[in-house]
Amino acid sequence: MAIGPDRIQVIKRESSALGGDAADDVDYLTPVDAQEDALESAGLYLQDAGVRDELVYIARDGDDMILRDQKNPTPRTLSELVSNWRRHFLLMGA
């Protein structure tokens, strides 16, 4: 599925208690600054217009990024996936 032209802007409530400074202590929502702000989440499920499930996700395990999808049902780190790809590529004689 191609990504369409629609975009959303995430709204935040920032505070100095969460890593901001005193200027961030406001009583209203503000847009996320794409050049400054980071989003925190335990994981991220990637969806399609016709498929909304929990099969494709990105998460963190300690210091590793974990990826899982239909062809890779066992969560793997990015390093493991790259290593497996290289091994497969070399076995194919390229």
- CA distance linking residue 23 with residue 25, whole number of Å: 6
User: Is the separation of the CB atoms in 10 and 31 below 8 Å?
Assistant: yes
- CA distance linking residue 40 with residue 50, whole number of Å: 26
Domain boundaries, the chain: 11-91
- 59 pLDDT band, cuts 50/70/90, is very high
For residue 66, the model assigns a pLDDT of: 92
Cβ atoms < 10 Å from Cβ of 72: 13
- 78 pLDDT band, cuts 50/70/90, is confident
